[in-house]
Structure 1
Amino acid sequence: MTTYAFHPSSDGRARGLVRKPMLIMLVLLGLSFCAALTALLCVADDLNDKADLRSGLLLGKAFASREESMRFHLSDNAEWGEAYNNLHRTLNLDWAWRNQNLGESLFKTFGYEGVFVIAPNGETRYSVLDGALRRKSFQAWLGQDALNALKQRLQQSDGKAIARLVRVGDQLALLGAAWITPGGDHSVKMVAGPPSIMIFVDRLTPAKLASAGAEYGIKKLSYADAPPEGTGEHDRYLASALGGVVTLKWQSDDPGGAL
């Protein structure tokens, strides 16, 4: 009868030989999982950065489109022989207000809260505020003196319509200005001296801002406190304007969160 001797030490060695590769495999799997998770988080963060950068670019286009629209409206109203005769040579309220050539329709149709005619000496000659005829100084109504800056830019544009964002308090307003000229009307006799200036003001209220953002797919666009330096927030846009910078924020699309 043949007998076999059982040696516990050899069984332990066998288990050790099996356990060691399993531990290596588990460690490798864990490292692979951590690497994959890290890569996924990096990709998600990159997607969010790109989405917010795209929103910021779209927001810049939204402002540019608004400025272009205001320049067009100003050119249409300021480069006009009748406007030159009835607003610069003399102030004709019947023509301007009662006949609605420069009246409440600019507020009702385009949302311009302020419409001003500035005389060559800098005084406000005519003003329509929130669609109503009210005589008030442009500087006093706006809350700051932006007239000199507008005059300088008009000198550079040779009187052609300009539009510029202006900081008013913690919010923004879009100012447009143009010299009042006869335009292409050669029947109008020009008078010597500096020109009068037509100014449109579009206050970018929180409601207007949210609406403008929604048109470009930017959700919940609003004003924000300036982010602390070094925070690296991307869902923000620093709107450079006369009088300072205003910080805007929105709800990020967060494609990385969906991933």
Structure 2
Amino acid sequence: MAIHSSAVVDPKAELDSSVVVGPYAVIEAGVRIDAGTRVEPHAVISGPTTIGKRNLIGSFASVGGAPQDLSYKGEPTELIIGDDNQIREYASIHRGTPHGNAKTVIGNSNLLMAYTHVAHDCKIGNHVILANVATLAGHVEVGDRASIGGLVAVHQFCRIGTLSYIGGLSGIGLDVPPYVILAGTRNRTRISGINKIGLKRNGFSRESINSLENAFKIIFRSPNLLLKDALEQARLEVTDCQEVENLITFFENSKRGVIKRTIED
């Protein structure tokens, strides 16, 4: 274990022998850090927090702090971070609240760029990118391989679908469907189409991408159909494609409502 002499590590913190802790970092009681993780200078990690293997905690990052929730009264909640994540300088990630399953969860191989914020009770999947100053309010869920641009703000309780791409400066107040590209603020948010480049880069077949495009036309560009009818028609006409079923199910399970406006609206 390589802990700089100026770092402050509470005796009740549990660090693997291979963890590296830089100058002036602070690691508080209740923190557990697994093998190969590096904590850079001036980072602060509060507990209860569990951090997996081979993570990078950047300089001045604040990880595992108490939730910014006026109803929080010091109850025992936690932050769980998986493996191979990069949490860059000045990022902040907060623990959960008792009314949000008491935990914030971040999966594996994610990149949280500088100044990003992940609020209490969020759930982030795997291979997610949050660009600089992207902000997630409480209880936000982000699917695998989603990309959230710089200065994006996501309202509490929203869901960000798998492999969606959100352009910078966007304001998100409703659920973002999987597999789409969108940008804009509030009532001006528009979806431009299926995230074909992202799908190709992640090994999706041409057949799956074509099926998603066909389903997209039915769901998003059928002005004479109610949403429930459009979803039913897409399910009947575009068969044998799990991604299409995922898209339809995402709509059906939404509690806040799903962004459906396109650039043609």
TM superposition score normalised by structure 1: 0.24
Could you say which structure has the higher helix fraction? 1
The higher relative CO (CA closer than 8 Å, separation ≥ 6) is in 1
* Higher radius of gyration, 1 or 2: 1
